[in-house]
A and B are shown apart, each in its own frame.
Chain A
Amino acid sequence: MKKFAYSALVLTLALIALPNGAMAATKTLDNLQTGFNGESNANPRYLAFAEKADQEGYGEVASLFRAAAKAEAVHAANHAAVIKMVGGTPQAKIEAPVVKSTKENLEAAIKGESYERDTMYPEFLKQARAEGNRDAVQTLNYAKTAEGEHAKLYSEALNNLPKLKGSKAKDYFVCTVCGYTTSQMDFSKCPSCFTHKDRYEKVS
């Protein structure tokens, strides 16, 4: 209600104020399409990695891959919603995943997530901020934060891989709003999007 009243006031005053031009979101739209393509491909890739991990007896790693796959689907849906908002059509070219051993799959996943966390999303965010596209900043920031967690969880799994041989499925929790992924629900609100923890989904 507070937000609505404030938005109505801002909208009214904005209509009275001098128009400052329609937002040209072409570069951010391209970036969102790139992000959407990446997240849409990451989902089936991680599900394929999960299957391989199960075959090799790494139940816990398989659970982690499934949780990350769920998070990537959340990011893809969030990116798609903003693409539509700025007048675009979400497009993804789904490629067949290259599945190797679980060790190699983890290494590839860490490389991909680290690139998204350290290079791709920070650049996209800078552009979206400069364009004043708040919705894009939010979805890109949610993805960047979650990819950082994925990289951390994958690195931990890789470091402990010998010990995880023969492990059973483990519970992970994924925020259905922002895709934040964790194995410990020691908070009442999502650390990334502040949504109540009830919105988390358990993935094993």
Chain B
Amino acid sequence: MLQFPAIPSWDALHPLIIHFPIALLLIAPIFIVVGAALTPTKGRSYLIAAMVLLLVGTASIFVAVETGEAAGKLAERSPGMEHVLETHESLAERTQAVFSVLSLILLSLLAVPWLLKRADTRLTTTILPLAFLVLYSAGVLLLVNTAHNGGRLVHEFGVRAMVASSPVDASAALPMETRDKE
């Protein structure tokens, strides 16, 4: 019978969380492009959608960094993997900082005209958002490289499933040759 899988621990949450910032933050600029292409009145809702994606994506980076550090404490180091892990960790922190700033910028771009009760113009819904995309590309570059290094850790160095979610037969965790001797 189908049932809910075990609730992952904080350190085991990293592989589940990391897909949120990658997906949300790569989709957000598409909404900005669509919003910029439309008329100021129609485009604003797309820009607001982009802002929501950016804010949720940035929040998920914070969770990803925290869970990543917890997972990293349990990851066995090997000579090649150590360097990739350090790069991944360092890039993740820079990505977190850059997207925090980008979130504030887009929030300001959308909130300032609204607070000043100014009508939307091409400047606020097309020119400034497109200029913002140039800055955004720096964040995308960091995000993609962070993800790439995380992918290398999993697929090249086999860093995965740190700890069994429930006790298993310990001998099953031993290599075949060791099990045969026992």
Contact = CB atoms under 8 A, between A and B. Distances in A.
Contact of A23 (B6, B9, B167): B167
Interface in A41-99: none
A148 B77 contact: yes
Contact of A7 (B10, B74, B165, B174): B10
A193 B73 contact: yes
Nearest to B164: A132
A114 interface: no
A126 B162 CA distance: 10
B74 A130 contact: no
A13 B7 contact: yes
Contacts of A128: 163
Contacts of B169: 130
B72 to A, nearest CB: 6
Contacts of A142: 73
B167 A24 contact: yes
A189 B69 CA distance: 11
A82 to B, nearest CB: 13
A123 B178 CA distance: 10
B172 A134 contact: no
A129 B163 contact: yes
A134 B77 CA distance: 16
A182 to B, nearest CB: 12
B115 interface: no
A75 to B, nearest CB: 14
Contacts of A13: 7
A137 B74 contact: yes
Interface string A105-143: 000000000000000001101111111111001100110
A10 B66 contact: no
Contacts of A191: 82, 85-86
A3 B10 CA distance: 7
Contact of B170 (A10, A14, A20, A127): A127
Contact of A10 (B9, B77, B164): B9
B75 A129 contact: no
B89 interface: yes
Pick from B11, B77, B86 the residue with the most CB of A within 10 Å.
B77
A21 interface: yes
Interface string A166-204: 000000000000000000000101011110000000000
Interface in B58-101: 63, 66, 69, 72-77, 82, 85-86, 89
B131 interface: no
A21 B173 CA distance: 19
B63 A2 contact: yes
Interface of A: 2-3, 6-7, 10, 13-14, 17, 20-21, 23-24, 27, 122-123, 125-134, 137-138, 141-142, 144-145, 148, 187, 189, 191-194
25 contacts: A2-B63, A3-B10, A6-B10, A10-B9, A13-B7, A17-B6, A17-B7, A21-B167, A129-B163, A129-B173, A130-B172, A132-B163, A132-B164, A132-B165, A132-B168, A134-B11, A134-B74, A137-B163, A138-B73, A144-B77, A145-B77, A187-B86, A191-B82, A192-B77, A193-B73
Q: Would you list the 7 A-B pairs with minimal beta carbon distance, nearest first?
A: A130-B173, A132-B164, A130-B170, A194-B69, A20-B166, A145-B77, A126-B173
